[in-house]
Amino acid sequence: MNFTFECEMSNLQKRVLTAGLPRGLPPRPIMTYQGRGRGRGGGGRVYTPIHWSKFFRRCRKVDIGDKSSFNVYEDGSVEKEGPLVVFLHGGGYSGLTWAPLSRDLTALVKCRTLAIDLRGHGCSITEDDYDLSAENMASDVVGIVKGYLGEHDMPQIILIGELNTKENKNDSAR
């Protein structure tokens, strides 16, 4: 089964990529490595990206207002059993940061997971990707969760992650 998912880069991503920073991985250090995987055909670690569908059941957009569209990855109980675990990534990352944990958690516990590409990150697009204030980030998370759940479904919600300040976490819990 082939999945295709395209997204536009956020303004922040475009700015970083056009800033003249070196691209790619740094050169490998010279080592005398005798470990596994160095046999036939060379080897070492493989850094090929793995598609989101290997970890999540679904990827979709949640729109907030007229000009904000947030990318979310979801997994877990189709029957909507158990709590909703919302993953919030740190600066410079995306919702895919939580992919292995989400996969393992939903295999062990009846729950739903929602990993969000926050403002200015991943495939989410907002009117102002540079405004990463506590108020905006907390408002975004509340709006995304409400938009995702709709009005009829309100399970227990567990937030996992970091938004850098205590105020963000308190505001998001409302």
Q: In the chain, what are the domains?
A: 11-172 (3.40.50.1820)
For the entire predicted model, the pTM comes to: 0.69
Residues contacting 135, CB < 8 A, separation 6+: 171
Q: For residue 154, what pLDDT is reported?
A: 82
Q: Is the pLDDT of residue 38 over 80?
A: no
Residues 6+ apart with CB under 8 A from 76: 57, 82, 85, 102, 105, 106, 110, 111, 112, 113
In one-letter notation, the amino acid at residue 146 is: K
Q: Edge-to-edge, what's the strand order for the sheet holding 58-64?
A: 58-64, 68-76, 112-116, 84-88, 157-161
How far is residue 31 from each of residues 42, 47, 135, 140, measured CA to CA in Å?
14, 18, 47, 46
**Which of 51, 136, 61, 137 has its CA nearest to residue 96?**
51
Pairing relationship of beta strands 84-88 and 112-116 according to DSSP bridges: parallel
| pLDDT tens digits along 93-149 | 999 999 999 999 999 999 999 999 999 999 999 999 999 888 999 999 999 999 999
Residue 159 carries which side chain, given as an amino acid letter? Answer: L
| Greatest mean pLDDT range, 24-28, 41-45, 73-77 | 73-77
